[in-house]
Amino acid sequence: MKLKIAVLAGDGIGPEVTQQATQILRAVAELGGHDFTFVPGLIGGTAITETGSPLPTATLDSALECDAVLLGAVGDNKFNALPPDKRPEAGLLQIRQALGGFANLRPSIAYAALSESSPLRPEVTKDVDILFVRELLGGLYFGAPRWWNKETNEAINTMRYTRDEVVRVARVAFELAAKRRRKVTSVDKANVLEVSQLWRATVTEVAKDYPSVTLEHQLVDSMAMHIMNIPRNFDVVLTENLFGDILSDEAGVITGSLGMLPSATIGGAVNLYEPVHGSAPDIAGTGKANPLGAILTAAMILRHSANLEQDAKAVEQAVHKILDAGYRTADIARGQQPGQTPVSTQEMGKLVHQALAESIDRRQAMHAV
């Protein structure tokens, strides 16, 4: 298997966690006899410092020539005085739009070993496995007109969707649900917003093509409560850009830390992969960053761009094994609980690497028998 991956480490802790993720991908390539090529590029604040642009043309051109893009994180407060379209975050929005991925997949899984890391009771989070499918190229984030008139103290953003935009992301959600527990929960605000009324009507129409999948609708405000109270009731959660951003971050409470959450953006010319957490510049370089979100993002590259499902599962199982063994970065450690071993970013990456190598070696040995 050949795969060319653009690696855009970005700002803050981005380079640290991305390094651990690429090392896992290199291990999979070496152990499985695959040919993975990694192409570095600049984005965000580091790109502004070196080139004056949050997304240099060279970075975008290189990314479009790759099979996948692995992004670390963007953002740094020292650029806050710049106009919005010149800040690091603008580079992220620009590359999302240029690559064309419209479906953002965000898993939220309750790890038994981290049950005490969540403020929710263990009986609430037990066995939770939610996959958010967030529409990524429409809604308030990209709708026009948008402006801020500082003279009149007035600002406007536009929430806008077309039927075709809703259809394509809804089909992704139903296809994924058909391979899971066969339930889609579509989230909107149809009691108030015309855009949500279009969304609900369109999703209902698409559901007719998937008779084996159950569809339910939830209003976004009640859904925010249900995710905290009855998260096991949900399988695939489908929603628009803004609601998906908020709800999937809220679901980080289930896992215990945003540092555990991966994501994949599919459907465009090149799939874009990035952990959900931000750049966290306050802990950059301290060894406190949790690389597991980035490592689990690497597993999504293996699943969705390389079609290496077994290897993707092996990475995820390695993460489970290390957590079950009690290894913790600062964000998922809880007090002086017995059985916990504090580790740095790099140490956590090495532990997952070792567990992965052992898993793949066992699998290959079984095949050789």
DSSP secondary structure string, 235-270? SEEEE-HHHHHHHHHHTHHHHT-GGG---EEESSSS
282 is catalytic: no
Query: In the beta sheet, which residues pair with residue 95?
Result: none
The phi, psi pair for 239, rounded to 5°, reads -160, 170
The phi, psi pair for 176, rounded to 5°, reads -70, -40
Catalytic annotation, pick one of 11, 76, 245, 311: 245
67 is catalytic: no
Whether 290 and 332 have beta carbons less than 8 Å apart is answered as yes
Catalytic annotation, pick one of 221, 282, 324, 361: 221
Beta strands in 195-353 (DSSP E): 214-219, 236-239, 264-266, 271-273, 327-328, 341-342
331 is catalytic: no
- CA 276 to each of CA 252, 279, 296: distance values in angstroms, whole numbers, following the listed order: 9, 10, 11
Catalytic annotation, pick one of 11, 76, 111, 141: 141
Q: What angle do CA 188, 194, 195 make, to 5 degrees?
A: 55
Catalytic annotation, pick one of 111, 188, 189, 321: 189
221 is catalytic: yes
Active site residues: 141, 189, 221, 245, 249
